[in-house]
Amino acid sequence: MSDIDEGFYSRQLYVLGHDAMHRMGTTDVLIAGMRGLGVEIAKNVILSGVKSVTVQDEGQAEWTDLSSQFFLKESDLGQNRATCSLQQLSDLNPRVRVSAHTGALDEELLLRFQVVVLTDSSLDEQKRFGELCHSRGIRFIVADTKGLCGQLFCDFGEEFEVLDKDGETPTSAMIQGITQDNPGVVLCMDDRRHSFSNGDKVSFSEVQGMTELNSMEPMEIEVRGPYSFSICDTSGFSKYERGGIVTEVKQPFKLHFKPMSEALLDNKLLTMNDFGKIVRHQTLHLAFQALHGFVKKEQRLPRLRSQPDAETLLGMVRELNAVAQLEELDEAAVRSLSFTARGDLAPINAFIGGLAAQEVIKACSRKFTPLRQWLYFDALECLPEKEDQLEEDDFSLKGTRHDGQIAVFGHAFQGKLERQKYFLVGAGAIGCELLKNFALIGLGAGEGGHITVTDMDFIEKSNLNRQFLFRSQDIGKPKSEAAASAVREMNPRMNITAHQNRLGPDSEGLYDYNFFMGLDGVAAALDNVEGRVYLDKRCVQHQKPMLEGGTLGSKGHTLVVVPHLTESYGQDTSTSNNAIPLCTLKNFPHRIEHTLQWARDHFEGQFKQIPESVNLFLSDEGFLERTLGHGDAEALEVLEGVWNNLECIKDGGQRPRSWEECVSWARRKWETLYNNDIRQLLHCFPPEQVTATGLPFWSGSKRCPHPLTFDPNNSTHMEYVMAAANLYGQIYGINGTRDFASIRKILEGVHVPSFTPKSSVKIHVTDKEMEEDKAKGTDEADQARLEELKGKLASPSLKGSAVQMYPIDFEKDDDTNFHMDYIVAASNLRAENYDIPAADRHQSKLIAGRIIPAIATTTAAVAGLMCLELYKLVQGHQKLSSYRTSYFMLSVQYFVWAQPRRPQSYELAGKEYTLWNDFLVDGRRGGQQEMTLGDLRQYVKENYGLTICTLFYGPAIVYNGQKERHKQRVSDVVKMVTKADIPPHKKMLDLEPSFAEDEDNEKAPTIRYLLV
């Protein structure tokens, strides 16, 4: 892979990086077995961007394959699985050469590859080919699933070098002090804790005084506290003066693997991923070996729910344990494995397939820490909570596309799945994976069943790398429609409706009380916390379960919300603690994140907010009055911007009439930002300035800047002018050019006014100081200017002659629109002012575009886990211990499984309540006249023994003892206090009460007042 397609691999590049992707682009991968697990691994590996993938399978498609092999159709039955899957696998990523091999596995074939993955293979094959691969330096992976259990094994050879253990950005911190001692102690700035660990190696830069550290090789540290650590002997070094940055230096390391035949006997190589299931997973290590022995002897898997076969398998496990010497066996797990081994489940394959594909990426890229060497996973808690819920004749396989699932759960459960009505919010990466799983398991695919999916976004090129239902020909189409169409191809029986609505208050007319009450559950595949919080609130209102999952690079999490059993997703607990202080952005940046945010703020202000204000001024009569109501300081800033952009440059304003004037504006703007403003700052705070305590002003996080001098031969200087001029032209409808030569020609005639710093200018050092000055109000000169602007903008002739502007919405993924050109140049010039290391376009896009790094492997694993929880919801599991929340990091095979938390309870008038307890009141009492407020109070008193003393609808007070309201209908009182009509779609009013019996209680059940 000589050139990486950054448009396609955009989000994955932020997980793996260019170097790792280049290494992957030289790797040939063999994936053997094209049942559901094999095709899942192949899909993820092909999307990741290796050089080539060969899929091997000698077998023909069977009915049981269709329950999890998403690239097989009923018309493919009886044909070779690899051949039938080839075209669709190839279409996933044209940059990867994909081929099929329908012959047997042999030594000659395997030696053509650098990575070999076996699925659906015998233990003899695993040992034989594992030995070959180990001896020849071929990275070897085995993945297997049987029913609700999965297995993963890795052998990357005698010696395998890992270049980056976890893929995390190297930690860095700013230095406040360093002692001359043995060992020397480094004290970091206290604006945030350092994230170093014992044994990390670090390097130093920009240290003044103790300059010896700047040229030393990376050194090991020992953490002393959240803001300090010790290093080498510094007693003979120069005295520390100021400044300095310490940065983690990632160290490569080597790992040694055992071949499978040896690893089978080494229990220490079991990676425990669930500490609540240690005995079970140790047992499964033996049970999978026993299962291979059973198949070899009987030439078949154990029969469905056959007690004799289960006892035979258990006996074989006990024989193996005579050697393994496990203290305890989970015999129930062995029986469950035997009962369900013929099952082939899409969610299990999605999870194990995601993990296995991530190991392939590690093998190809040498990034992240590989699995060493065994991993087992089970979801046996998906089985019915009571054994008597299963009937033997419910498991006969009848030649249907869901046979692989019926083998585990039976026909009755399959029918229940098909009758479900689910609402999926989001058709992006997780949404696509969920829809694939929904199609395979048959969710909503029967009579009475239905799936509604909504997503307001349209498909872009960068989506194709992980939103695997989309192809290049779908670019520009609505995501929800393209996804729905793709899963109908997978399962023609799918009942699915696609919407393009944003979920929120504006769409409550469609997603109203009747809509939610008709659902069995909701799945959240959203990429923002606000959307999850809103959806969670609607689910609590309507007592519906919710499945939720998210990813961040190789990290993933899942959550299940079960009415009355678990807590809900809850409120948005994110805070603005990580927000950059305004004074840091305006005057004292010390990290590239600060200069990028500054550039983004300038983009939004100049090219979006000012044009929007101008257009509002021209179209909205109340704009001026509203703006003045925001305070004099804000009004002055907004109205100054409006006036300047209405007045032509020749008349003293900033409105250009030609491309040449756009270039002239950009050049003068450059001078203001990178020379004049810095000179003014240094005039107020000279380099030698000291604080009241005698310490240097420019120290710690305050980096002393220097002004830049414009140079038309400097590419960054010219890129700023080119991008700024083009964007400035766009907001006025003036076309520009990228031609540097013609721009340089225009610049020769641009007059740049001279600048002298002013002593009257005050620059705020802290946000507190800024707020205090803002509270004092504007001075006389500002007041006079505000009055002048009001007079000018009130002129009728101004609006008559003005032309509307064209605001620009920031779009990071279009490399032709000048947006990222501007951000990169503007940020790096400011970074140069402050001697901050510059960021390339790739890194700048990540930070300024607030991109969430993403990779297909994590997405597949998350969607698989979400659908395992879906099985439990559909069965109606009532035990909290049956459900799981999860958090994992595929980069280092770190997993945390936990039971969901119970909802917090509170006491009211001697009774226990949770957030799931509400008082549902039929306001129209089955078609009668609507209740009065007095009727409502009486109803609550009679049914719940509580006396309403106050009642709120949002912030509005509906009732606070006003007796005259007792005879008014509840809806009329709500309309009166809110001064607004109740929308026709609003079928339920949430009324927040307090009760006389416990008036001081901060919590009380919501009264859900129905208007149906």
Catalytic residue numbers read 583
Helix (H) or strand (E) holding 856: helix 856-875
Contact call for residues 556 and 887 (beta carbons, < 8 A): yes
Residue 721 CA: distances (Å) to CA of 600, 667, 741, 937? 16, 6, 12, 68
Q: How far is CA 249 from CA 17, 50, 178, 527, in A?
A: 16, 27, 19, 32
- Whole-angstrom Cα distance, residue 306 to residue 59? 26
Up-side HSE of residue 356: CA atoms within 13 Å toward CB? Answer: 35
Query: Which long-range contacts (C-beta less than 8 Å, at least 24 apart) are formed by 654-658?
Result: 655/732, 656/728, 656/729, 656/732, 656/734, 658/734
Euclidean distance between CA atoms 587 and 763, whole angstroms: 8
Nearest to 273 by CA among 907, 973, 888: 888
E strand or H helix at 29? strand 28-32
Give CA–CA dist 993/909, Å, rounded. 14
Q: How far apart are CA 879 and CA 869, in angstroms?
A: 13
Residue 672 gets which letter from DSSP?
I
Instruction: Please classify residue 522 by burial: count the beta carbons closer than 10 Å to its beta carbon, then call 0-12 exposed, 13-18 middle and 19+ buried.
Output: buried
Neighbours of 307 (CB within 10 A): 11
- The angle that helices 819-833 and 841-848 make with each other, rounded to 10 degrees, is 100
Q: Tokens 């641009």 label which residue? A: 750
* Phi, psi of 399, deg, nearest 5: 75, 55
Residues linked to residue 991 through DSSP beta bridges, in sequence order: 1007
Residue written as token pair 């990575």? 115
Rounded CA gap, 450 and 416, in Å?
A: 12
Q: Name the strand (E) or helix (H) holding 938.
A: helix 933-944
How far is Cα 503 from Cα 495, in angstroms, rounded to an integer?
21
Computed on alpha carbons and rounded to an integer, the radius of gyration of the chain in Å comes to 33
Residue type, 191: D
Which residue in 534, 474, 472, 517 sits closest to 498, CA to CA?
474
Cβ(854)–Cβ(11) below 8 Å: yes
